[in-house]
Structure 1
Amino acid sequence: MVSNAEFRKLASALPDVVELPHFENTSFRVKKKIFATLAEKHNRACLKFSEVDQSVFSSFDQTVIYPVPNKWGKQGWTFIELAKVEEETLIDALKTAHQQVVNSSKGQPKKSL
């Protein structure tokens, strides 16, 4: 289990991350691009993955990590239930989402796992 405070600490520790409000949630951005959001009242995060990375992370347990249900999910946005996720898995997921945004802002091909 990962608390909201621990999620915030892990996401903010990645290079060049800025934490800003995003509607009723908190967003974590690199160069103005969101790679993660935190819905504190739901104890849930949402991360931006490539389709391949979304498939890989979701394959572990769809009650813990699963695509957002709608067009956002088809674009790689993926929910993570913080009360159920192992910290090591969350760290890998955060690093992957962060790198996805860093690479896309540099115009480089997006790396998957």
Structure 2
Amino acid sequence: MAKPADLRRIALSLEGTTEAPHFDRAAFKVKRIFVTLAADGRTANFKFTPDEQEFKCLLAPRAFQPVAGGWGRQGWTTATLSELSVADLRQALEMAWRHAVPKSPKR
């Protein structure tokens, strides 16, 4: 069972990641936000692609659900931390982090 401290530790270990407040949540970002942690520490919102979101929600429907409305259609996905192993949490964080890392300039 993953805990908020696991999310914070793993997210901040990913290259270039910083933590900052985002409304009532803690946001973790590189160039852009890739995950936010709820103030109560029970859930986190991940930025996946819509295809990644669909896969996660099909694979683990008790752990992952699309965020309601337009944000969810863009791939934002709520995860219930208590439904994730630490390994599952790490994989989800790394997946979301890859979308936030600045792209290398084309040569």
**TM-score scaled by length of structure 1:** 0.86
Cα deviation, 1:50-91, whole Å, max 9, x if unaligned, reads: 111111111112121111111110001001100111111111
Q: Tell me the residue number matched to 2:103.
A: 106
Match for 1:11: what amino acid? A
Contact 2:24–2:39 at 8 Å: present in 1 too?
A: no
Higher RCO (CA 8 Å, separation ≥ 6 residues): 2
Unpaired runs of 5+ residues, structure 1, are 109-113
Contact 2:21–2:27 at 8 Å: present in 1 too?
A: yes
- Cα distance in 2, alignment partners of residues 15 and 51 from structure 1: 24
Count of aligned residue pairs for this structure pair = 105
- Report the CA distance between 1:42 and its aligned residue: 5.0
Q: Tell me the residue number matched to 2:56.
A: 57
Matches within 5 A, 1:34-49: 34-49=33-48
Contact 2:6–2:86 at 8 Å: present in 1 too?
A: no
Unpaired runs of 5+ residues, structure 2, are none
Please provide the CA RMSD for this pair. 1.5
Cα deviation, 1:23-59, whole Å, max 9, x if unaligned, reads: 010000002x100000031510110001111111111
Contact 1:4–1:40 at 8 Å: present in 2 too?
A: no
Q: Tell me the residue number matched to 2:10.
A: 10
- Cα distance in 1, alignment partners of residues 13 and 50 from structure 2: 25
**TM-score scaled by length of structure 2:** 0.91
